[in-house]
Amino acid sequence: MPSSLLVAGLDARSLLLEAPVLQRDRHLVQERTYARDVLREIVPAGARLVVLGTELPDLTLPDAVRRIRNSPATRAVSVLAILPSGATAEIEEETRRAGANAVLRRPLDRPTLEAALAKLLVVPRRVVARVPVSGQVVASSRSVGGAHFCGLTHNLSVNGMLLASPLRLADEPDLDLEFVLPGVRARLRALGRVVREAPEVAWPFRGYGVEFLFVPEESHTTITLVVSGALRPAPALAPPPDPSHGIHSTVCREEWVYEIREPVESEQGWEAEIRRAPRESWRPGGAGPFFVVAAASPAVALREAREFVGRQE
């Protein structure tokens, strides 16, 4: 189905030549000179995608992306940023952090550009409906050697979540997510992409807005029921008090206290979670998620967890 695109900061005619799919699928491409014009016209034009370059006379590229994301009326639109070959790595990183769904650099490879356009044009628009849900999230980065960690979801929609992560994720935007909501039996799965930093999430976590790129049908059905109110997450039954708080051992390093949790069995083998808290405020069982070590046996998981903590500065 044809969609409406707004373009600013680059030549729309060049974009049409570089991505013939836009004309072939009869998408409506409209060029504007100023970023502020784009902001005003996203809603009236029914734009599904905004393509921005660096040649904006009124705003920098990161500022333009940030304003789109900060406005309730426009934050649902997808944003593709195209940088010149000489753009600095800092501009690329700042643009991504500001909320661009994808950042490409010239010279553009046609298959890569058309794949990015196709993906962003078919991604369903974010919906306003979000429900506050606090559930545990286990996430694994898809990058080589990427992090594997435990975090929390603070709210949830059918198209994404607000993720509280113990780790910085700016360089690892694609995540395999597995999460559990209180009182919901199903273990939910999704492939997500970090689209923005979320300063509203309090320390010691780092907050990120995550957009779902793919959700299995069973998980999508459950999430839809939760968001619509047809299925209400209920507090899970409290387990009997555990005097050990599930802690195998603790390690103090500098101003931090690290809790190494008892290993638990998983699909990948055995996992030992590491939690940490400032030394001055630490209480047993009160530390926040930090990292997860996976291994073939409980003993190896504990050993690697201790080695990991020993490498922390």
Give the separation between CA 283 and CA 25, rounded to whole angstroms.
Answer: 59
- The answer to whether the bond into 107 is cis (omega within 30° of 0) is yes
Is the domain spanning 131-228 CATH 2.40.10.220? The answer is yes
Kindly report which listed range (168-177, 230-239, 263-272) carries the lowest average pLDDT score. 230-239
Pick the range with the lowest mean pLDDT from 26-30, 94-98, 151-155, 295-299. 151-155
- The residue among 86, 230, 208, 76 whose CA lies nearest residue 155 is 208
* Sequence spans of domains, the chain: 4-122, 131-228, 247-310
pLDDT at 63: 93
Q: Which two tokens stand for residue 89?
A: 């790595």
pLDDT at 9 over 90: yes
Cα–Cα dist 115/131, whole Å: 32
pLDDT, residue 38, reads 92
Instruction: Determine phi and psi for 193, rounding to 5 degrees.
Output: -130, 130
Note whether 61 and 53 are within 8 A (CB): yes
pTM, whole model, 2 decimals?
A: 0.44
Determine how β-strand 206-214 pairs with β-strand 247-253: unpaired
pLDDT of residue 232: 65
Write down the pLDDT at residue 10.
Answer: 93
Mean pLDDT of 189-202: 81
77-120 pLDDT, tens per residue? 889 999 999 999 899 999 988 888 889 999 888 888 988 888 78
- The SS3 assignment for 81 reads strand
Whether 183 shows a pLDDT value over 50: the answer reads yes
Phi-psi region of 59 (alpha: psi -120 to 50; beta: other; left: phi over 0): beta
Most confident stretch, 15-19, 235-239, 244-248: 15-19
Token pair recorded at residue 176: 């395999």
Tell me the mean pLDDT in the region 209-233: 79
The share of the chain scoring above pLDDT 70, in percent, equals 85
Mean pLDDT over 35-41 rounds to 91
More confident residue, 167 or 129: 167
Say whether pLDDT at 127 is over 50: no
Q: Which residue reads 């044809």 in tokens?
A: 2
Residue 282 has pLDDT above 60, yes or no: yes
Write out the CATH class of domain 4-122. alpha beta
Which residues are CB-contacts of 40 (< 8 A; sequence separation ≥ 6)?
Answer: none
pLDDT reported for residue 31 = 93
Mean pLDDT value across residues 58-62? 93
Two structure tokens written together for 234? 């209920």
**Two structure tokens written together for 92:** 């690329």
Better-scored residue on pLDDT, 295 or 243: 295
Question: Which residues have C-beta within 8 Å of that of residue 195, sequence separation ≥ 6?
Answer: 99, 100, 101, 160, 173, 209, 210, 211
**pLDDT reading at 124 higher than 50:** no
CB 277 within 8 Å of CB 252: no
Checking if the pLDDT of 70 tops 70, the result is yes
Residue 214 reports pLDDT greater than 80: yes
Q: Angle of helix 35-45 relative to helix 61-70, nearest 10 degrees?
A: 30
Assess whether pLDDT exceeds 60 at residue 126.
no
What is the rounded CA–CA span in Å between residue 38 and residue 93? Answer: 22
3-state secondary structure 89-149: HHHHHHHHHHCCCEEEECCCCHHHHHHHHHHHHHCCCCCCCCEEEEEEEEEEECCCCCCEE
pLDDT of residue 130: 54
Across the chain, mean pLDDT equals 81
